[in-house]
Structure 1
Amino acid sequence: MKFKVNAIEFYEGINPALSVVPSRTTLPVLTNFILDVKKEGISAYATDLEVSVMVKTHGEVEEEGKIGLPAKSFGEIMKNIDGDVEFELLESHLYCRYPRGRVSFPVIMPEDYPEAIIPSKEGGFEIERLTLAAMVEKTAFATASSERVARRAMVGVLFHIEDDTLKLVASDGTRLAFVSRKIEGGEPIKVIVPPQVLNFIKKMDDEKITVKIEEGRIGISGENMTVSARLIEEEYPDYEAVIPWDNDKILRIEKEKLVNVIKRVSIFATPQAKGIEFSLTPETMVVKAQSEMGEAEEELEGEFDGTGIDVLFNYQMLLEIIRRIEDDRIEITLKEPASPTLIRG
């Protein structure tokens, strides 16, 4: 094996694969990654046995080869070199020569590394990358942390396709995030995807990407990156049954004005409960907070339809939801003080 690359471009190309390598593992081989050097291109592959990433990059290849390398030290060296780097495999080490320096890395045989599990693009559905990334942004924040939930299904994001519509759902039992978009070519599915695999979508630079569900895994593919992960094999709760579509009290308001009011009033909320009160009638709409630090009360500029209601919100949770809505105006619909609230653009 012998090839030459620009260190910065090479590192940027392979880093998504390096990022999946576990820092701690009971299987030492997983601290490595596979480098496959061919005339037509260079690829890197890594896995933690849950998530797998394959990336493609380029370089000047003189001799082809395929080896395993220690991911952490290799990545640190590449990240801190400027200019071109020449690599050559001699016996059991890969030698790296760069201006004014040289390092070597021990290699492992690729046969000793877990086999790449990368689904093909055939049979999947295509979607605008930015569209899917935005859908993930609007939902994944609401997943439960693994140490705080009894049902593992709540740790993931539900991908539900029906009637040419992709729906993403996430919930931690206290809040539920839901978003839907029309797609073409997606077969009806209902699967739970671990959120860590979805983080790689924003690292892709493709206009469109392909999503495929196959043999208990999800594969997300662009031109130069494919990421795959095991699905969470549990049944997701009936999310449609808990969305309060029949709420009959509606607050309509400009998003930024509401955010600014919440930020001001919440200064006086108790640090533990983080509660602020909305007191809403068709005539007056007020947000209040009170604690040992003082109290605040501010009127809202908006419209309210329905009978009056006083309701408490955790202001941090409320802001986290509102900021993910792209529309300039939002609707907050309510029914009873203790019943679920629906917030939408």
Structure 2
Amino acid sequence: MKLTIERAALLKSLNHVQSVVERRNTIPILSNVKIEGANGRLSLNATDMDLDIVEAVPAEVAQPGATTAPAHTLYEIIRKLPEGSQVEIEQSGDDSQLVLRSGRSRFTLASLPVTDYPVMSGGELPYSFVLGADDLKGLIDKTRFAISSEETRYYLNGIYLHAASSDGVPVLRAVATDGHRLARVEVPLPEGAPGMPGVIVPRKTVAELRKLLDETSVDVTISLSETKIRFAFDDAVMTSKLIDGTFPDYERVIPADNDKVLEVDCKSLSQAVDRVSAISTEKSRAIKLSVDKGGLTLSASSPENGSAVEELEASYEAGPMEIGFNSRYLMDILAQIEGDAARFAMADAASPTVVREVTDSSAVYVLMPMRV
């Protein structure tokens, strides 16, 4: 294999694929990225056996071929080369080394046989549909903050993607929860998605996919089975195993009859929570909301730091009540609301609170209260 490629193009693709590679690996080949040159393109492939990404970029291929090289080392070298430079990549005759030249620099990297590189892309994916990049970004951004990081409840370590019905209208729904808060967001169900199984997309896959989506606005082709999911767009294909578990019946924790409704300016509330929570203890991050007709009072206190109180204008017609929340969880939810006003539907100080955007019904958030 022998090819020449622009540094900027190679760096962009390497940045995408190398982040999949774990820093510590017991299997040496998994520390490497597979490099393949053919038909005027360079293809890069990285995997951790659960997540696999392939990305292709244009290159001048003088001699087709394939090899592997240490992913993070290669990325660091390309990152430190001068902007605008050309990179020449050549495979040694016995395929034990990769020689990289750019300007007056020359690097020799150890290679491992390409035949040892694992293949993840096989298997039938019977369900396939197309989703706009912005819709997919929205599903991810508005739910991923609620993904659990508790490894014992592994079935909560991802986003639950499934076909559902909202007021009789078919929707594609994304749900995430960590037991303290829940996020449920939906978009119209794409053609090809009816009948798809409900799948749990792992946290790492969600994070890597979101990074790739930052640089595109094209439609994304999503293919899936009960064990795998694939996202294809531009020149990238990401394949991931799914979490093998049953997502809990989230509908049971979304209260339908909370009758105490509070409407408040979202930005003002978020800033006030941020200020008042400076007083609350690092461990509990507790903050109290006292609501009465026409107003909302936020307060926090701790033995070490003292106390803080802030009043806000709000629309509220029910009887007075007090409820406590984790301030960070509350701010995470408020950060997802794009409109001006947030609507809180509450029952009492011990029951879950439902938070929505006043003008958008496609997203629902549930927040468990705290004792304050």
TM-score (norm 1): 0.94
1:326 paired to 2:338: yes
8 A Cα contact 2:173 2:186, kept in partner = yes
For the residue of structure 2 that corresponds to 1:323, the secondary structure is: helix
Partner of 1:89: 91
Q: What is the Cα deviation at residue 218 of structure 1?
A: 0.8
Distance 2:201 2:178 in 1: 15
Cα distance change of structure 1 residues 33 and 99 upon mapping to structure 2, 3 Å threshold = same
One-letter identity of the residue aligned with 1:281: D
Distance 2:146 2:163 in 1: 20
Q: What is the Cα deviation at residue 193 of structure 1?
A: 0.9
Aligned length: 343
8 A Cα contact 1:253 1:330, kept in partner = yes
For the residue of structure 1 that corresponds to 2:299, the secondary structure is: strand
Structure 2 unpaired stretches of 5+: 358-372
Q: What is the Cα deviation at residue 32 of structure 1?
A: 1.0
8 A Cα contact 1:138 1:324, kept in partner = yes
1:112 paired to 2:112: no
8 A Cα contact 1:161 1:167, kept in partner = yes
8 A Cα contact 1:10 1:58, kept in partner = no
Partner of 1:306: 318
1:187 paired to 2:194: yes
Cα distance change of structure 1 residues 40 and 84 upon mapping to structure 2, 3 Å threshold = closer
One-letter identity of the residue aligned with 2:194: E
For the residue of structure 1 that corresponds to 2:142, the secondary structure is: helix
Q: Deviations over 1:275-302 (max 9, x none)?
A: 1211112244211222343322222211
Partner of 2:19: 19
Distance 1:161 1:329 in 2: 29
Q: What is the Cα deviation at residue 320 of structure 1?
A: 1.2
The equivalent position to 2:221 in structure 1, one of 185, 193, 210, is 210
Cα distance change of structure 1 residues 87 and 284 upon mapping to structure 2, 3 Å threshold = closer
Q: What is the Cα deviation at residue 112 of structure 1?
A: 0.8
The equivalent position to 1:229 in structure 2, one of 226, 231, 240, is 240
For the residue of structure 2 that corresponds to 1:297, the secondary structure is: strand
Q: What is the Cα deviation at residue 214 of structure 1?
A: 2.2
TM-score (norm 2): 0.87
8 A Cα contact 1:34 1:66, kept in partner = yes
Partner of 2:255: 244
Distance 2:291 2:74 in 1: 59
One-letter identity of the residue aligned with 2:174: L
Distance 1:121 1:217 in 2: 7
Q: What is the Cα deviation at residue 308 of structure 1?
A: 1.7
Percent identity at matched positions?
29
Distance 2:337 2:115 in 1: 48
Cα distance change of structure 1 residues 247 and 118 upon mapping to structure 2, 3 Å threshold = farther
